A = this chain, B = another copy of it.
Amino acid sequence: MAIIVQKFGGTSLANAQKIRSAAKRVIKTVENGYGVVVVASARGKQTDRLIADALELNPNPPKREMDQLISTGEQQSVSLFAMALDAMGYDAISFTGGQIRMITDGAFTRAQIKSIDAKRIHSQLESGKIVIVAGFQGIDEQENITTLGRGGSDTTAVALAAALEAEQCEIYTDVDGIYTTDPRIFEDAVKMDQICYDEMLEMASLGASVMHIRAVGFGKRYNVKIHVRNSANENVGTIITSEESEMEGVVVTGATVQKDMAKIGLVGVDNVPGNAAKVFAHLAKAKVVVNDIIQTEISDEKANLSFMIGISDLDAAKQAVDEIRGEVNCEGVFIRDDIAEVSVVGVGMRTHYGVAEKMFGALAQARVNIDSITTSEIRISCAVDEDQATDALKAVCLAFDLDKPAQERTKG
């Protein structure tokens, strides 16, 4: 029997009516002859409420207990989902992460999946049941409940699809799929029919929030066909896959903008091996997530070092830099807290020239000043003034035809 995994997020399960409507979609798939495994998140604002309950008792709750607490949200969802299916005349059985031996490491609140026991699910599917699995959670070797952190339910769904060798993993959400860029910023953004894992990984790491980077990474590793679609309609969404064929000739598939960034520069650091490592090790200890590191030599003795961070990490980063600057003989520190990053992504860049020029040209024409540039094999990012971020994104989108379906775009 071919298997489809269907993941429903919290907003798709926020009340009885929405649960019923998700259940109907599952039944339709069952009637089409598939074995269906549902992955459910916690309903609506349940997790937020539980976190508030916890913080009222303890501003810094032990992580193990936090996982024990918030994992109840998904457990409630799956049992209610099974009840809804039962009321519609379909046999269903719900499982917690522990009950299907979703074994993780012991890193509470951000655990990594180590293994899944597909046997119990297979045997339930074979007996004709619809299987409902709690997303976001697992257990460690000592049977402590763990949670997977941000994007956890997506990760559960993709991991289950891999373990069950499912035909595809459908991620139901409140948008029609993955867009060429954020439609809230560039309203002419178009939905993609398809995107490859590497592009989606770049998009996700640049803040495209529809799919979490961990889930996409799992998909790539186990070659799981992921279908991101809208739970409110029947439209085909976006397929995330290893195939790049359809995008041949299309150089840029998507663009992103990350606001609320800051840039820190260390000027005149001693240009000796190990100094950059010292700085970033110290930032890591302060739990600052660092992006887009640029190092440039200014003389034989001195170099400049700059990097981007989220604005919420700025205070921690400042303090860390102040602590370490003496050790690396840094002559000065500059900080920009009014910066944003505009990026374009596309595997086509690997084989096409002129993408950078086109991007810089579009920004120049829009009178956007570029603070700094970083690139990867399939991405170009420009740091720009935050108040020019929206204009910058629009200019880039138009330059690369991201308001048109892939097949109608000017080929690179």
Contacts and interface: CB of A to CB of B under 8 A. Distances in A.
Q: Is the interface of A mostly helix, strand, loop or mixed?
A: helix
Interface string A6-42: 0000000000100110000000000000000000000
B59 A80 contact: no
A87 interface: yes
Contact of A59 (B61, B71, B87, B143): B87
Give the number of times this chain occurs in the complex, counting copies.
2
Interface in A61-102: 61-62, 64-66, 68-69, 71-72, 75-76, 78-80, 82-84, 86-87, 92-94, 96, 98-99
A62 B76 contact: no
A143 B71 CA distance: 17
Contact of A68 (B58, B64, B65, B79): B79
A103 to B, nearest CB: 14
Given A19-B57, A53-B16, A62 B82 contact: yes
B79 A69 contact: yes
A135 to B, nearest CB: 15
A20 B57 contact: yes
A54 interface: yes
B83 A72 contact: no
Contacts of A80: 53-54, 57, 65, 69
A64 B93 contact: yes
A56 interface: yes
A356 interface: no
